[in-house]
A and B are shown apart, each in its own frame.
Chain A
Amino acid sequence: MSKLRVVHYINQFFAGIGGEEKADTPAELRVGEVLGPGMALKANFGDNAEIVATIICGDSYFAENMDKAKEQIIGWVKEQNPDVFIAGPAFNAGRYGTACGAICEAVQNKLNIPVVTGMYIENPGADMYKNKVYVFPTKDSAAGMREAAPVLAKFALKLGNHEKIGSSKVEGFMEGKRINFFAEKRGSERAVEMLLKKIKGEKFETEYPMPEFDKVPPNPAIKDITKATIALCTSGGIVPKGNPDHIESSNALKYGEYDITGVMELTSDKYETAHGGYDPVYANERPDRVLPVDVMRDLEKEGKIGKLHNKFYTTVGNGTAVASAKKYAAEYAQKLKADGVDAVIMTST
């Protein structure tokens, strides 16, 4: 049997090009090269498949040039004509996970080539793409590569060989992508069995868990912005120089509250970013690029807004658990309310 052809997509970090300072690396195709996590996949493929090409793209480049990057990558994948396409795994890297999902969806829909990717369940790419492509759960850091590689490799072989794919429960990918199959028992029988179990107080398993919708309806608009007190908040990690509260550069365990009474702009000698998930050069040079205190002060002076709230709230949104972010904001929202803040501008990097 001939080997299956695999094309593998990874970011600049896993390709060994560099970290955040290289996140703007444009997409490139390396035919015949196996890089980083590709080595782990290769080891698991044995003689059954080979990675014929690796496609690399910087995370920021992909996010900021999505259409162009997708088109380019689709062209390369088409040329390589693989039996299966693998992206990642992205673990808890948000832009990377989003890129993996987006490129998988494009390859699957435009080229009709089976795809698979992997990432941590809280990666924003998971919610965005798990109902479109096969996304396998991984750990939240690259330490999970050893577990992820065999899972992805095994499933990729299955896809490449056009084997029958079972439900998410059988195969282990994230729930979301639907698979049609014939059940052994018909629906009425299964429903009655489930009902009987429920009545008896036994454990039963629903076949259709309700998705968790957590939408918050929008609040009414501000009637008179020239009288409103507006607060600035950010997930971009802007902090006073030296990061006095030691907010973690990733997976932040706290948020900061900082007084900006009398501060007219955020200058590089007094403020910086603590964020470890994007290239900090531009934010450190002029922190107003993330938290626009200078412009808000101008608007305040000109009477275009009532006033800028004298405190800002900040944390690092880099692999930070959703539960943590929720807790921080729920807490400081109450402080903002108590201080009579009318509206909030939240900036994210």
Chain B
Amino acid sequence: MVKEIERAGIPVVHMCTITPISLTVGANRIVPTIAIPHPLGNPALDKADEKKLRRQLVEKALNALTTEVTGQTVFDK
């Protein structure tokens, strides 16, 4: 699905836990996430900390969208 969105001319970032699959499928901007059943959360944290974690991940995604890339890039920093 990311490829079709990219093909339509819209920059897209893929946030997922199993990054090798994302690379195989052909996403260009990839942000690794926490876990399969809760990619953007961690139920072990309290509500405020969990939201902070989610925000950090989304900010990474925004950073990926504003970064020029020439090929597949995993934003894991």
Contacts and interface: CB of A to CB of B under 8 A. Distances in A.
B3 A214 contact: yes
Interface in A304-349: 304-305, 315, 317, 325-326, 328-330, 333-334, 336-337, 341-349
A29 interface: no
Contact of B11 (A219, A236, A290, A328): A219
B39 A124 contact: no
A119 to B, nearest CB: 13
A349 B65 contact: no
Nearest to B41: A289
Given A64-B36, A329-B5, A330-B4, A218 B11 contact: yes
Interface residues of B, number: 53
Contact of A218 (B6, B21, B24, B43): B6
Interface in B1-17: 1-17
Contacts of B14: 346, 348
Contacts of A63: 17-18, 36
A76 interface: no
Nearest to B43: A282
Contacts of B35: 60, 64
A159 interface: no
Contact of B39 (A315, A342, A348): A348
B16 A347 contact: yes
B55 to A, nearest CB: 5
Given A219-B11, A221-B65, A221-B66, A292 B54 contact: yes
Nearest to B26: A215
Interface residues of A, number: 67
A329 B1 contact: yes
Interface string B13-35: 11111101110111111000101
Nearest to B6: A216
Given A278-B36, A337-B9, A348 B55 contact: no
Interface string B36-58: 11111101000000110011011
Given A289-B39, A337-B10, A233 B26 contact: no
Given A222-B11, A328-B1, A330-B4, A343 B65 contact: yes
A347 B39 contact: yes
A64 B35 CA distance: 7
B7 A98 contact: no
A304 B4 contact: no
Chain B CB within 10 A, most for which of A215, A282, A298, A342? A282
A233 B57 CA distance: 15
Contact of B36 (A60, A216, A220, A285): A60
Nearest to B11: A219
Interface string A135-172: 00000000000000000000000000000000000000
Interface of A: 20, 23, 60, 63-64, 94-95, 98, 124, 127-128, 214-223, 225, 228, 230, 233, 235-236, 278-283, 285-286, 288-292, 294-296, 298-299, 304-305, 315, 317, 325-326, 328-330, 333-334, 336-337, 341-349
5 smallest CB-CB distances across A and B, nearest first, come from A289-B41, A333-B8, A329-B1, A329-B4, A218-B28
5 contacts: A217-B28, A225-B66, A292-B54, A345-B65, A349-B36
